[in-house]
Amino acid sequence: MGKEPLLQKVRIQEDIESDKKTRVNGGDDDGPVTFVLLLTTVTALWGTFSYGTAAGFTSPAQTGMMEGLNLSLAEFSFFGSVLTIGGLVGAALSGRFADLFGRRGALWVSNSFCMAGWLMIAFSQATWSLDIGRFLLGVASGVTSYVVPVYIVEIAPKRIRGAFSAVSMLVMCASMTFSFLVGSVISWQNLALFSTVPCVLEFAGLVFIPESPRWLSRNGRVKESEVALQRLRGNSTNITKEAAEIKKYMEKLQESKEDGLLELFKPRYSRAVIVGIGLLVLQQLGGLSGYTFYMSSIFNKAGVFFIYSMISGMGILFVIKMVPETRGRSLEEIQADVAR
């Protein structure tokens, strides 16, 4: 008979109770917000910023590209949708990249795709090179949309993990706004070139930031994991308890069997699957991609906004009813709550 999955409720609950006792006896050594932690988070968020500029690029660039390159509406619409096709490819590869190269390594890969994509678009004179560049941006966005939140969650102290995670969506919205505003006053070629700046800043930051301590520990690099954790928490912080928790959790992760895709359909995972897929579906049906890609033309269609607002309202109710509280809780506690 095989071993039970790691997230089985009974085993996780025992770890949670043990952790609570440790907190009572030993206090909370969560650690301060250090410069290295902020630098690491900001560097990762440049990837999110690039994703946002890619999503918002088509709206201000539509008129200039169609007139300058003699694109038909169908050709431009395909150019806009290629981002989502690349996103599907990037999303499919993101988990493998994150496990194989590490969180920081996966950001290196996605940033390379992003830089190549923007340069192809900026210097393109044909539809095929535009589409390839847009596809590369999609691949980068697919990888980034997975790796950045995981990286931030793994490095952030749990008392501020929720706030740090929320910043990712704020940056995404800000970058879309930036792309729309800047693209309204400069040409689409210059906007594409200007969009490489976040890639350059991310490349520079990746040189100095540490790898995720959890990923290092999972791959048996315990000493490196402790060094990375100490950098993130500061030299004056005692990381003994947190390092031990990470090591213990990753050891159990290694011992457990790797569940296949069919495991997702078992009752114990039903709530986690419903929450995850529900949030993604409602987000997309709420018009996220539609009004982002074609905002300049969709403003004239009030009926579309009415439909999107109805679905967005459903999304708010879904979050209130289904999504568990995360503030001040460990990843294991959140997982146990979702798996209830």
Q: What confidence tens digit (pLDDT) does each residue in 72-128 have?
A: 989 998 998 899 899 989 988 998 999 999 999 999 999 999 999 999 999 998 899
CB distance 316 to 279 below 8 Å: no
Write down the pLDDT at residue 112: 96
Q: Among 124-133, 164-173, 223-232, whose mean pLDDT is lowest?
A: 164-173
Q: Among 204-213, 249-258, 304-313, whose mean pLDDT is lowest?
A: 304-313
Give the rounded percent of residues in the chain with a pLDDT score beyond 90.
41
Kindly report, residue by residue over 211-256, the tens digit of the pLDDT. 999 999 888 898 999 999 999 999 888 888 888 888 887 777 766 6
Mean pLDDT for 136-157 is 93
Write down the pLDDT at residue 335: 63
Of 332 and 167, the structure prediction assigns the larger pLDDT to 167
Q: Band of the pLDDT at 166, cuts 50, 70, 90?
A: confident
Count of CB atoms within 10 A of residue 242's CB? 20
Write down the pLDDT at residue 265: 73
* Alpha helix positions (H), 27-57: 35-56
Mean pLDDT for 279-283 is 67
Report the CATH number of the 31-209 domain: 1.20.1250.20
State how far the Cα of 171 lies from the Cα of 279, in Å rounded to an integer. Answer: 19
* Average pLDDT value for the chain: 80
Entry pTM: 0.74
Write down the pLDDT at residue 312: 64
Mean pLDDT for 315-322 is 70
Q: How is residue 78 written in tokens? A: 């395909």
Write down the pLDDT at residue 30: 63
pLDDT at residue 25 above 80? no
Which residues, 6 or more positions from 212, have their beta carbon under 8 angstroms from its beta carbon?
102, 103, 104, 150, 151, 154, 155, 228
Residue in the structure block whose two tokens are 């700046």: 197
